[in-house]
Amino acid sequence: MHPGRQLGVLGLVFVVLYLCVFFAAGAEGSWKQRLEPKLGLDLIGGTQATYIASQQGAPPRPEDMELAREIIQSRVDALGVSEAEVVIQGNNTIVVSLAGKADEQLKGLEQAANMRFRLVTGVTGDVSSVALNPPSPAPSASASGSAAPSPSAGASSAPAPKAEDAKPSATPSTGGQGGGAAAPSPSATPSATPSPAASAAAPAPVSADIEEQRAAIKKKVGADAWAAAEKLTAPVDLSADPKAGLPFKAFAELSGTEVAALSPQMQFNVPTISCEQLNARPNGSIDGVDSEVVACQDGVYKVMLDKAEVVGDDIDEASPQLDTQQNQWVVSLDFKSEGQKKWTALTKKAYEAGPSDPCYVAVTSMYADADHCAVAVVLDKEIISAPQIQGVLTGQSQITGDFNGASAKKLADQLNFGAIPVTFDAGPAQTVSATVGDQQLQAGLLAAAIGLGLVAVYAFFYYRLLGLVIFLSLGLSALLTFGALVFLGRSIGFTLTLAGIVGFIVSLGVAADSFVIYFERLKDEIHEGRSPRSAVPRAWQRAKRTIISANAITIMCAVVLYIVSIGQVQGLAFALGLSTMLDLLVVFLFRHPIMSLLASTPAFMSPRVSGLGRALRRGQTEESGSSRVKEA
């Protein structure tokens, strides 16, 4: 390729990079602001969030805290190449610090990410508002069940039109319990609630602590209301008697923590307990694998869920995927072999459930034309989705839900990194100042200047004019690196730390190194008596091979470390790879063409101008010297 063309390509790279710096990836503000790289926590400080672990009174075990720390670290690292700091403070607090303003990124980091797959065994509408303010008698149903008042009446009286239950199920007031009451099975009541046996067994394994809380709640709501609530075996049917909710009025005043202390049956059956209250329960309150729980679906249904047959630990790998047919994001799951068995068993149970199964009855009040049971995918307190199981699933499965690309990735990451064994409460995010401070930053930059100066002096001393080529290409490398830093800082969150600065200083030396390889080669060639014109391409051919193999190793090192490692090591690997690539770019597109151009100028060979001249001169004197020897 013609030297001019190579320089042209380099110019193009340069222009494109700086156009990106100034105009792409959310560049805004003044010219100066657009030129600011994203600096790391150690250089400019950032945002700090505190998460306090709560594990029912007792302080969490140290090994749980360490595991939690590592999981949170992985989650932070998954946000991008920004070197975050995650430490445990005292015995129950985790402090996360991120560079810059990062309130958004710090949100939800502490989420436990306990994934549970539970059979849906009961569904009822969140009727709390109706229960508290019962509409005046007759037309009331139509007022609340605005969409379809007639099916609601049908549901509560006639058992037949099940298929048309779709509408009522969507409107809270008439919802699921209409369907439940209308179930054709003889056991009308247990169809909605799991089973009487379960509700009888539930109170048994309750801790003394919970017992105490329940006693307090009993006092708060009144003994009558409590007794009435305890007697419920199915959700109170407000469509039959709109005023039936009134005795439970006091339950609406309970806090989330108090609601969590109630038995699942009570949470489900008492009509005045709202989804809002259920969602306000403390983190981790429905994580119990071996207990039934109540959760909210879309803020509309209260859903009774069976024991968790499959949990997050059974998942081998989760990955976000774009379902191109539906054009929506899903999270695709691969189960571990043991987990796959459990998952297959669960889906089989859901798929093969007959119309008399409680889960079947439940699902029909959620989905109009349901003919198989639903399995709820529960993450912490939230039902992500509760799909009907359309077959016995023996392979990869997908979670659908209201995902976008980012949230699908987040969930997949959470599943992959595992669940945090303790539950956290997030404290406020605060700003923190730099850890290293100005002094070290300035010293680092000073060191860079000194280093560059020394290299330049050495190069000029040793290679004379060629030193100028070295100096220019180092300057060019520095500009390209800086541009890449600014652009990558904005686009993928690459942050520059003091360690990074030192890394780039080192790469200056390594970049200069590839020049030395080339020039020494050139010297050899000229020494052998070649003219500069023929020596330059020959030396280039040979040096190219060496430079490429040597740089290939550095790039390999960077790529492996980037993929495998986490935290700051990953940042280092990125910087290393970046600077090596840029070095190669400059070597191929700047130095080689410049040398080709220089080789054709007569001044190039003058000993005073290029360090190569000495090799040339020595070669000549040797020539004469040796011929003398020969003569002798």
**Rounded Cα–Cα distance for residues 517 and 345 (Å):** 65
Nearer to another protein, 91 or 531 (CB): 91
Q: Which is nearer to another protein, 375 or 508 (CB)?
A: 508
How many other C-beta atoms can be found within 10 angstroms of the C-beta atom of residue 382?
14
Least distance in angstroms from the C-beta of 611 to another protein: 9
Instruction: Between 178 and 577, name the residue whose CB sits nearer to another protein.
Output: 577
Helix H segments across 353-429? 358-364, 405-417
Q: In angstroms, give the least distance from the CB of 76 to another protein.
A: 12
Burial grade of 294 (CB within 10 A; 0-12, 13-18, 19 or more): buried
CB of 46 to another protein, least distance (A): 10
Residue 553 to residues 556, 558, 559, 571, 577, Cα–Cα distance (Å): 5, 9, 10, 18, 10
CB of 556 to another protein, least distance (A): 6
**Cα torsion at 176, 182, 184, 186 (round to 10°)?**
100
Burial class (CB in 10 A: 0-12, 13-18, 19+), 609: middle
Residue 343: CB atoms within 10 Å: 24
As a whole number of angstroms, the distance between CA 523 and CA 526 comes to 5
CB-based contacts of 404, cutoff 8 Å, min separation 6: 329
Strand (E) or helix (H) holding 130: helix 128-132
Q: How far apart are alpha carbons 579 and 571 in whole angstroms?
A: 12
Residue 317: partners with Cβ closer than 8 Å, 6 or more residues away? 333, 334, 416
**Cβ proximity to another protein, 70 vs 371, nearer residue:** 70
HEC string of 600-628?
A: CCHHHHCCCCECHHHHHHHHHHHHHHHHH
Structure tokens at 232: 């419920």
Q: What is the nearest approach in angstroms of another protein to the Cβ of residue 472?
A: 16
Crossing angle (nearest 10°) for helices 223-231 and 208-221 = 120
CA separation for the pair 558, 553 (Å, rounded)? 9
What amino acid is encoded at 253 in this protein? E
> In the bound complex, what is the minimum distance in angstroms from residue 284's beta carbon to another protein?
22
Neighbours of 387 (CB within 10 A): 19
Q: Which is nearer to another protein, 159 or 437 (CB)?
A: 437
In the complex with another protein, the residue whose CB is nearer, 360 or 574, is 574
DSSP annotation of 566 reads -
What is d(CA 424, CA 69) in angstroms, rounded to the nearest whole number? 11
Measured from the CB atom, is 240 or 564 closer to another protein?
564
- Please report how close the Cβ of residue 426 comes to another protein at its closest, in angstroms: 16
* CA 84 to chain CA centroid, nearest Å: 14
- Cα distances (angstroms) measured from residue 407 to each of 79, 80, 96, 472, 605: 12, 15, 21, 46, 63
Type of residue found at 23 = F
* Residue 66 C-beta: closest distance to another protein, Å: 6
CB nearer to another protein: pick between 394 and 626: 626
The smaller minimum CB distance to another protein, of residues 106 and 127, is found at 106
How many other CB atoms sit within 10 Å of the CB of residue 119?
28
Distance of CA 120 to the CA centre of its chain: 29
Give me the least distance between CB of 63 and another protein, in Å please. Answer: 11
In the complex with another protein, the residue whose CB is nearer, 448 or 597, is: 448
Closest contact distance (angstroms) between CB of 456 and another protein is 10
C-beta of 69: minimal distance to another protein in Å? 6
Instruction: Compare residues 356 and 430 and give the one whose CB is closer to another protein.
Output: 430
Q: Let me know if 589 is exposed, middle or buried by CB neighbors in 10 A (0-12, 13-18, 19+).
A: buried
Closest distance to another protein from the beta carbon of 33 (Å): 22
CB of 536 to another protein, least distance (A): 15
Closer to another protein at the Cβ: 164 or 520?
A: 520
Of 303 and 616, nearer to another protein (C-beta) is: 616
Nearest-approach distance from CB 545 to another protein, in angstroms: 7
In the complex with another protein, which residue's Cβ is closer, 392 or 506? 506
The amino acid that residue 114 corresponds to is N
CB of 571 to another protein, least distance (A): 8
Residue closer to another protein, measured from CB, 273 or 558:
558
- The helix/strand count (H/E) of the chain reads as 27, 12
